[in-house]
Amino acid sequence: MARRMPEQLGHYNLLERVGAGGLGTAFRARDTVLGRTVLVKNAAERVGPDPLVRKRFLKDARAAATVSHPNVATLFEVGDRPDQLFLVFEFVPGKTLDQLQAGRPLDVRRSVDLGVQLAEALGAAHACGVLHLDVRPANIKVSLGGHAKLLDTGLSAWTTRGRAERTAGSVDDRGAGDREDPYRSPEQRRGEPPDHRSDLFSLGVILFEMLTGRVPADGASGGPPTPPRPTAVSTAVPPELDSIVERAMADRVEDRYQSAVSFAAELRSVGAMFDVRSGGREPPSLVTATEARSGRSSRWLIPFLALLALAGATWLWLR
């Protein structure tokens, strides 16, 4: 028999179950104090009763809550009650990046724009001493207007993947799937200590995938990766992006970008150059073709109705 959904955690009314993962079952919920919609994750079912494990979890969660940036899903509250343990996040509507892409490349300018947003999000986390260590399309939400949000920042050790790593005795125990995970840096796959540049490698893989519609073959091989060139996969990618992706995905951490700030700055510079080439055109929206046609129709409808009203008023005045 399925377990009955709880109705409330703290002062949050749980409205519907929206998913489950390493951080517990996730619910869309209503904050009865502030009157806003939030995402609540019932962490107690994953962390368990061990007081030392709970203490480590609370330390990580409170560190994650210090990260504040428009492109990071905010952790509003760490609910620590004798019989409850839950996390309250900003509720982010939209699709995850992997859902948005669906195996296809994104527009080049939009890929660069999302890359800038994500690099700046990582920069904010790193400035707080927080690493993500599980940057992947499934952990990124994108709104209809193209606004990216990085999810579960600073909590990778408590996700399903992080729990599996803690229980595995060595890198050899983690299985081929984990060692060949294309989003994980070479040092993570080798079982070596990661740092902030590991996150930048993962973002480089995501940028490559957004530009080409596929993950780099070398990154998934499990062998010594050679930084790939997006232009070797797609001729639609401007060559200026090759060096950025290559540097982000360098095998040695010393050869990568040394900060997310410098990564974002180079992407922003290239994006500005693309805008000049295109005559200052704004990056394309992520709206669908149907929505775009609907928007164009509504723009024509308003002036038409105004003209019709003016004609009617003139006719009445002349009577």
* Cα–Cα dist 25/187, whole Å: 31
Residue 57 burial by Cβ neighbours in a 10 Å radius (0-12, 13-18, 19+): buried
Could you tell me the CA-to-CA distances from 299 to 24, 35, 288, 305 in Å, in that order?
45, 34, 17, 11
The tokens of 245 are what?
Answer: 């992706």
Q: Which of 31, 113, 134, 152 is catalytic?
A: 134
Nearest alpha carbon to residue 201 among 138, 258, 155: 258
* Cα–Cα dist 206/213, whole Å: 10
Residue 305 burial by Cβ neighbours in a 10 Å radius (0-12, 13-18, 19+): exposed
Q: Is 134 a catalytic residue?
A: yes
Nearest alpha carbon to residue 147 among 273, 259, 287: 287
* Cα–Cα dist 139/97, whole Å: 8
Handedness of CA 147, 118, 136, 5 (dihedral sign): negative
The tokens of 128 are what?
Answer: 């707080």
Torsion on CA atoms 191, 194, 200, 204, rounded to nearest 10: 0
Residues acting as catalytic residues:
134
